[in-house]
């Protein structure tokens, strides 16, 4: 749950309060400062919203609405990619450093997250993809070493390995490609 709040314990000498977004999950909260302060009389304590009694109210409401929309969009993308929504995944910066992981480590972490969030069917498809990748090559190579030629060779391997189900081949390539894109270009997804 995301909700705009003011920190009444952080009142300044000139009676202004910082406006923040409070993220709540499993009774734990994290805060993101929105970068502006309002006069103490400009906040309705009961309804937890701005009062239209000052000239910058529309600007501040727009900032709040834009930030809320940004985080709602990020939540939708995380859900679409079957990534567990946690404080870490939701609040991480766009320029964060990616861990240097092997393909197997990366897939196993994602599979564990899917199982933890109850997406067993999707997790089994990722497990199947990982198993076919392990038959193709050792998965001790690092994820950032995958390139277009690796994907083409993997597709060729799938076609020649006796798998006649086109849907299965598409699943494997789609799941690997999705993980690769999220890994290499997180700023496009978050």
> What is the per-residue pLDDT for 98?
52
Angstrom distance (rounded) from CA 89 to CA 105: 18
pLDDT at position 37 over 80 = yes
Task: Give dist(CA 156, CA 22) in Å, integer.
Answer: 49
Task: State pTM to two decimals.
Answer: 0.52
Q: For residue 129, give the nearest of 149, 153, 109, 104 by alpha carbon.
A: 104
Question: Burial code of 88-120, b = ≥16 C-beta within 10 A, e = fewer?
Answer: eebeeeeeeeeeeeebbebbbebbebbeebebe
Domain spans, the chain = 2-91, 103-189
Pairing of strands 43-44, 28-39: unpaired
The pLDDT value recorded for residue 185 is 60
Q: Is the pLDDT of residue 80 over 60?
A: yes
Q: Using 50, 70 and 90 to split pLDDT, how confident is the model at 138?
A: confident
Summary mean pLDDT of the chain:
78
pLDDT of 69 strictly over 50: yes
CB 119 within 8 A of CB 159: no
As a whole number, mean pLDDT of residues 83-92 equals 76
As a whole number of angstroms, the distance between CA 90 and CA 65 comes to 17
> 187 is written with which tokens?
């700023």
Q: Which of 31-45, 81-95, 125-139 has the lowest mean pLDDT?
A: 81-95
């Amino acid at each position: 749950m995301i909700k705009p709040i003011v920190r009444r314990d952080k009142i300044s000498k000139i009676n202004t309060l910082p406006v923040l977004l409070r993220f709540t999950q499993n009774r734990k909260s994290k805060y993101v400062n929105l970068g502006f302060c309002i006069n103490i009389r400009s906040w309705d304590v009961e309804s937890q919203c701005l009062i239209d009694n000052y000239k910058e109210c529309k600007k501040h409401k727009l900032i709040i609405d834009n930030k809320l929309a940004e985080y709602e969009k990020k939540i939708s993308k995380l859900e679409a990619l079957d990534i567990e929504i946690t404080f870490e995944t939701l609040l991480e910066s766009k320029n964060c450093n990616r861990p240097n992981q092997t393909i197997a480590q990366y897939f196993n972490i994602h599979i564990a997250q899917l199982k933890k969030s109850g997406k067993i069917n999707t997790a089994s498809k990722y497990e199947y993809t990982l198993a076919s990748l392990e038959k193709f090559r050792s998965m001790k190579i690092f994820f950032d070493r995958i390139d277009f030629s690796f994907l083409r060779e993997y597709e060729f391997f799938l076609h020649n390995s006796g798998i006649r189900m086109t849907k299965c081949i598409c699943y494997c390539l789609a799941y690997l490609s999705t993980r690769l894109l999220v890994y290499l270009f997180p700023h496009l997804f978050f």
